[in-house]
Chains A and B, each alone.
Chain A
Amino acid sequence: MSVARRWSLPLLLLLVSAACKKEEAQPVAASPAGGGAVIGAALSLTGPAAVYGAQQRAGIQAAVEEVNARGGAKLSVIVEDDASTKEQGITVFQKFINRDKVSAIIGPTLSNTASAADPLAQAAQVPVLAISNTAATGITDIGNYIWRDSLMEAQVIPGAFKKAQEKLHFKTAGVLYGNDDVFTKAGYDVMQKALQDLGVKVLGTQTFAKPDRDYNAQLTELTAAKPDVLVVSALADNAAAIVSQARQRGWTGPILGGNGFNSPAFIKNAGAAAEGVMVGTSWNSSSQEPANQKFLANLKKAGVNPDQFSAQAYTGVLILAEAIQQSGGKTGRADIEAGLGKVKDLDTPLGKFSFTPSRDAQHEPSVQQVKDGKFQIVQ
């Protein structure tokens, strides 16, 4: 174990230096001339959640450009890497709150990080808008300054599984989930309940940890019971490896995923093995609503493949701009906090967006399936 400790210092230095470099190299938008609001975005640009962080940064960039172009409240965003960890997330939040004196914070990417970093913002009375935290507990219940535009797993998965069962008629399931992460564990809890409600019998449950690369032992146990369907709660990196290894093992049955699967990186890394995988999603990519079409066009212009995470990040910026509008263009921390409470039926790529009384997201979810290497909405 001393080896691990020897590792940590040089690694930390490396990370910190990388983070510092990034900060200087890439201000997302130059500070607007007339002041305006400074927003801090804590995103996972490295680590296991890096696939989401990159998409989120693209979504935020596109939305900031759009908001600033249409006049009214001007925004500038400082992006920092939370490295997919609690420790770095806390460091980034402290910098935002005390040094950059931001008006509001977007992020962090993972629920795991949020559960550790959000209490700092709550204590300092800085509004936080989570754009991808989906854990049922430990996010908005931290306090009245924590908001989110991402649907909880409990709002997405039951509907998705019901639709999947209508299509696939499964009666038994094998479940595999990551038990060292708030998000994948919370996803599992919801999945288990959804399966129970649908009358599906769970033949076996197995776990893994984020750094794991070999899932053969778990998959062997699960497939030996011959379930109708495999249910997996995992982040995209793990998900791709799990699905590949399941197919390598000869598993040809359907696979249902959690929110972690909602990334083009999952399809890229799992390749042909991803075909047929079904996932609930909070973003309907084929929606013809003008807000969604505009989002798609903006991301295309930026050369980014849009996904749920960029859509939610984009929506986050739109919501903050609306909150500033609602508070009469004032950009103080208290003004934005008050403005967030007045956001209602806002047109976003996610659909008509409102907050629930508990400051969680409220809009319609969908179901999608991988077909020919792409997510397609199941009608």
Chain B
Amino acid sequence: MGQQVLNGIFLGSIYALFAVGYTLVFGVLDILNLAHQAVFMLAAFVALALVADAHLPLWVALPAAVLAGGLIGIVLERIAFRPLRGRSDSNISGLISSLAMATVFEAIALEIFGPDTSRFPQGTFPDRVVRLGGATASLLQLCIVGISVLLMALLTLLLGRTRLGRQIRAVAESPRAARILGVNVDRAIAFAFFLSSALGGAAGVLFGLAFNSISPDVGRGVELKGLAVIILGGMGSVPGAVMAGFALGLVEVFTVARLGSSFRDVVSFAVLFLVLIARPRGLFGRAAAREA
């Protein structure tokens, strides 16, 4: 029981980290960035290449891959979103152009890394088992939960306490009002993309480390889960995404353990369905206001 709670928190922390970036962009732009999962995947491959081919230690490769994820996010925003901004149908066309970018990113990964499942080399992270009461966790799992929580806390601080964070929130509220108040809207959006993709990239690297399997299509399963998480948490709500991420991780683990793996997605999406009927704005979504 305690062990399964631990497994759920572990899985949930990765879902939450993925979804936080996903929901951040939605909060700012009202656009679902369907290339988020491809950034997740590319960052995992970047970390893998740095560790396996360049023989860098993980503590160098992880931040480098997160940074790479962020930079990919900026490129993504430039190519797929900025040219469309201001058009009347930018929500739908942005959705489609992000889908195109995801396909391009996947094709790039397929070309460079091949279709096979790759993994981090043995000993990338020390194999240590830690006992917590009656349950056991590997050191890696604890670090993953720790890094996820730390990054999410940093994002909350950044959005709440810094000038840039305030600008992003202002743009989320109303781009026009923000522009009138002197906010550089393009820069704020680009920065939101940087943050979003860096977090998505971090989730990708941690996922690759945790489950030892990275392939060009690794993001697709997580994308649907991430979508469920941000709807459950309230579209655009960062704290909502965090809570919903952990909740989904726990629900999934207990579903698999008690009902069997066939029910993994059935129960997750049934919960989503029920929440949407009872609270259409999600658990943490507010009626009129939006927050980034």
Q: List residues of A whose CB falls within 8 A of some B CB.
A: 3-4, 6-7, 10-11, 14, 45-47, 50-51, 179-180, 206-209, 211-214, 216-218, 220-221, 224, 237, 240-241, 244-245, 247-250, 265, 269, 271-272
Stretch from B49-57, B167-175, B207-215, B278-286 forming part of the interface with A? B207-215
- Which of A3, A224, A245, A250 lies in contact with B227, CB distance below 8 A? A3
7 A-B residue contacts at CB 8 Å? A6-B34, A10-B99, A211-B221, A221-B4, A240-B212, A269-B213, A271-B121
- Are A220 and B262 neighbours in the complex by a CB distance under 8 Å? no
- Return chain B residues, CB-CB under 8 Å to A216: 7, 10-11, 253
- Are A217 and B7 neighbours in the complex by a CB distance under 8 Å? yes
- Return chain A residues, CB-CB under 8 Å to B99: 6-7, 10
- Are A220 and B103 neighbours in the complex by a CB distance under 8 Å? no
**Which 7 A-B pairs give the minimum distances between C-beta atoms?**
A213-B211, A217-B256, A216-B7, A217-B253, A271-B122, A46-B115, A207-B261
- Which of A45, A206, A220, A265 lies in contact with B4, CB distance below 8 A? A220
B127 at the interface (CB under 8 A from A): yes
B166 at the interface (CB under 8 A from A): no
Q: Across the A-B interface, how many residue pairs have beta carbons closer than 8 Å?
A: 103
Q: How far is the CA of A263 from the CA of B8 in the complex (A)?
A: 32
- Are A50 and B115 neighbours in the complex by a CB distance under 8 Å? yes
Q: Which of B1-44 contact A (CB under 8 A)?
A: 3-4, 7-8, 10-11, 34
- Are B212 and A272 neighbours in the complex by a CB distance under 8 Å? no
Mask: chain B, 257-284; 1 = CB below 8 Å from A; 0 = not: 1001110100000000000000000000
- Are B207 and A179 neighbours in the complex by a CB distance under 8 Å? no
B223 at the interface (CB under 8 A from A): yes
Write the nearest CB–CB distance from B227 to chain A, whole angstroms: 6
Number of residues of chain B lying within 8 A (CB) of chain A: 43
Q: How far is the CA of A224 from the CA of B119 in the complex (A)?
A: 27
- Are B211 and A214 neighbours in the complex by a CB distance under 8 Å? yes
Chain A: CB-nearest residue to B140: A248
Chain A: CB-nearest residue to B214: A213
Q: How far is the CA of A48 from the CA of B8 in the complex (A)?
A: 26
- Which of B138, B207, B257 lies in contact with A221, CB distance below 8 A? B257
- Are B218 and A11 neighbours in the complex by a CB distance under 8 Å? no
- Return chain B residues, CB-CB under 8 Å to A206: 256-257, 260-261
Write the nearest CB–CB distance from A15 to chain B, whole angstroms: 10
- Return chain B residues, CB-CB under 8 Å to A209: 261-262, 264
- Are A224 and B3 neighbours in the complex by a CB distance under 8 Å? yes
Q: How far is the CA of A6 from the CA of B95 in the complex (A)?
A: 10
B89 at the interface (CB under 8 A from A): no
- Are B264 and A3 neighbours in the complex by a CB distance under 8 Å? no
- Are A248 and B257 neighbours in the complex by a CB distance under 8 Å? no
Q: Which of B232-252 contact A (CB under 8 A)?
A: 252
Write the nearest CB–CB distance from A125 to chain B, whole angstroms: 34
- Are A220 and B257 neighbours in the complex by a CB distance under 8 Å? yes
Q: How far is the CA of A240 from the CA of B214 in the complex (A)?
A: 12
- Return chain A residues, CB-CB under 8 Å to B7: 216-217, 220
- Return chain B residues, CB-CB under 8 Å to A179: 260-262
User: Taking A217-B4, A220-B257 as contacts, is the C-beta distance between A207 and B211 under 8 angstroms?
Assistant: no
- Return chain A residues, CB-CB under 8 Å to B260: 179, 206-207
- Return chain A residues, CB-CB under 8 Å to B211: 213-214, 241, 245
Q: A207-B261, A237-B213, A247-B127 are in contact. List 12 more A-B contacts (CB 8 A).
A: A207-B260, A208-B256, A209-B261, A217-B257, A218-B261, A220-B7, A220-B257, A224-B3, A245-B212, A249-B129, A269-B119, A271-B122
- Return chain B residues, CB-CB under 8 Å to A214: 11, 210-211
User: Taking A213-B211, A218-B256 as contacts, is the C-beta distance between A4 and B264 under 8 angstroms?
Assistant: no
